[in-house]
Structure 1
């Protein structure tokens, strides 16, 4: 049975920028096996031209950094973002901090080292697309809210007459907010926000149900409490790699439910911040 993520990402169109022909052929084939539509170009100039095409409709750019002669990947990314707001996931063999930091200042959708494997690449692409979708929804909500406040300031003298309309707008915003939380809670995947020391800070209803607990019971517990002892090393290794490389991780292990039942799960993780601005990480649990 296909997971929610597989269905959600099916048919997403990727602009793949890679100058090495053999690598491009192999990676394109693997991406297509994950139901992505892949358009490959071999230079930064061609990438920019592809984005300028009004009919391109790309959902994400997978960008190498070293592209031979001409425009490199970071420059191409900057030019693309001047044209269109689109998630750019850098995919390179470089691991130098200065290179990674430079890409973070251009696009905040991730940096993945080549040869990480199609499973990790697929997870990174899905995270980037989800992050972009969330950003777009937030921006749209902010635009709507700013528009509402502007109208209030301009027509302050008509406040009484507009009171019914304002209540309607407020009600719609509350409904939208409620729908967002419903989607988060009822999503078929478990979502967690975990503190740097492993404490669970946020959870959706699905994650709590998967682990056999209520959401209040799950909060403030440690994620490692649910990892099978034999798989603890796997968990700690990927958590260490996540914090050191700042690259999203994806791995499989066994979790232990409250009733001691073991379940095979795939965990996809990426760095984030908690409500106080402290370092944390997001965890997606899928079976």
Structure 2
């Protein structure tokens, strides 16, 4: 491509000397570049005399194509530079099921602000491989092991609370203290390891774990929420995940003084030379969402 640009400069100035001056090189280098191009094409591009440098017929044909090619490359470079500066393109986002449903209402306002950014959204509760699976951003709940090939940004710290439907609470005895929970139906979560997750609570200000009887055990965060909404028992849910269902009246808080601090939420971004603008604005948007206090 350097030889083609040199050829165009010689044709523009009709002079090897002036082309060399404009390109910041020597007349000898300009001559060598043109000769290399002529050898590759198998034709003469210039008629050279002691007084003038003129294009041959083949040279005129090649000049038209060369200028079009260089113009096209220039336009592509401008477009690529604009993409680096302006948020444009698809962002692949992997988030836990409950959080994905929480984030969906915020995508509309984001798209109004950044219409050139689109999403490839995966909702699942497994531990995905951010680099191997090609995700731009992975949201994870819990403490993270050191990962040298990832940028990690903390989004928030969750709280764990107990929630149930009004229908369930209406047919059971009032719950006034932690000991009353032992007589309740629990919707218990089974982790990927197969372990049943007990409830972590504060009992008179002291941390405690309890495992009430569980008519229903689930291994899916969304299923646990749906079970509680449908009156199957009390579930321990992250505050931010439960909040929309509190506002809609589908769930009610149970024994708020027993709430405990939960795990942190992080965004993981594969390392690179520079974070693309599309990824940066989505990450900032996520951080803004999670900065909003839970009512």
- In the superposition, the TM-score normalised over structure 2's length comes to 0.22
More strand by share: 2
- In the superposition, the TM-score normalised over structure 1's length comes to 0.23
Larger radius of gyration: 2
